Amino acid sequence: MTKQGSNTSVVVFDLDGTLYADTHHFDYYAERLKEKLPEEKQSSFQTDYKLARDNKHTLKVGCVYDESYDLILWQLDNTVKEAYEWNGTKLSEERLKSLYSHPITIDQVRFFNIGDLWWVPRAIAIHYGLTHPEAHQAFLETRKYMMGPAFRMQRIPGLKELLEEIQYKKKLVLLTNSPEPDSEAILEKLGLKDVFAKKIFSGKKPVQTPAHFEALKRAYGVDYQQILSVGDNWINEIRPARLLGCKTVFIDNYGLGDATSADCVVSDLTAAFSFIKS
């Protein structure tokens, strides 16, 4: 982690995995996905999900899932470096080049960025035959649960106070892939509903990340170097922002990166407070 300050005037925050650290809703989501699968597939789904949560499956946070070929990919800047079958068998270089001779587009339609635990059970469910409308329904059911009183969120200590303090010195922006209604409900629970100058929902990161940052650059009349991107999903929030020249804080929840992965790399958002504030 760098000890220097960010020296930025616009701070763009992700929501899920960034502004709260709860993870128990992922098991709820996995159950909603599993119950929509044929009964004969549910046991295999559960086994794979447990392995993936324990980081013992070929499908891991940080990879990309190619639904068309049912392959698990490792890439950098959309160039596929390695590919694996579901059972862990690595594709030969010849096969790799024949399938991925051109850069891929991580569009969450064919190529899915498994950037956090939201996408782990979904990719597993799709592997076992669940349709995208069924998977989306499970997601909506989970977000509804998260909006309700049964889902108790643990606030990140000091975050509300930090954002309330710096909202008058910096423009605070929320940029999330999640829909507006449940995101607003979560912000309400976190006490963060009124700290953002701008909120962008259903942001379609990472494909639309550069466009969003370009629009913010124009709207606030700043250079990219004056924009700070804070998030836990390296492909969605960190890599594209760095390529533009923005400052970055990577909340490395899964131990994927190193000190070079962002300007500030932490395992807990509180460790980045001074960097964000400065």
Rounded CA-CA distance 88/97 in Å is 18
pLDDT in tens, 114-164: 999 999 999 999 999 999 999 999 999 999 999 999 898 989 999 999 999
Same domain, 15 and 121: no
Rounded CA-CA distance 240/26 in Å is 26
Domain containing residue 252: CATH number: 3.40.50.1000
Residue 43 main-chain phi, psi, to 5 deg: -65, -40
Same domain, 139 and 217: no
- Could you give the dihedral angle defined by the CA atoms of residues 153, 61, 232 and 68, in that order, rounded to the nearest 10 degrees? -100
Q: Is the pLDDT of residue 246 over 70?
A: yes
Same domain, 85 and 189: no
- Residue 4: its pLDDT value, please? 67
At residue 229, the 3 state secondary structure works out as strand
Number of domains in the chain: 2
- Residue 29: its pLDDT value, please? 98
Domain that holds residue 238: 10-21+156-277
Q: Is the pLDDT of residue 87 over 90?
A: yes
Same domain, 198 and 183: yes
The mean pLDDT value for 234-257 works out to 96
- Residue 186: its pLDDT value, please? 95
Q: Flag whether 3 is in a domain.
A: no
Same domain, 172 and 102: no
Q: Is the pLDDT of residue 188 over 70?
A: yes
Same domain, 129 and 240: no
Boundary (domain end) residue, out of 147, 165, 184: 147
Q: Flag whether 138 is in a domain.
A: yes
- Residue 6: its pLDDT value, please? 78
Same domain, 172 and 244: yes
Boundary (domain end) residue, out of 130, 147, 164: 147
Q: Is the pLDDT of residue 3 over 70?
A: no
pLDDT in tens, 27-52: 999 999 999 999 999 999 999 999 99
Same domain, 167 and 142: no
Same domain, 107 and 167: no
Same domain, 49 and 36: yes
The mean pLDDT value for 232-250 works out to 97
Q: Flag whether 105 is in a domain.
A: yes
Mean of all residue pLDDT scores within the chain: 96
Alpha-carbon distance values, 267 to 8, 17, 175, 216, 217 (Å): 21, 11, 20, 27, 28
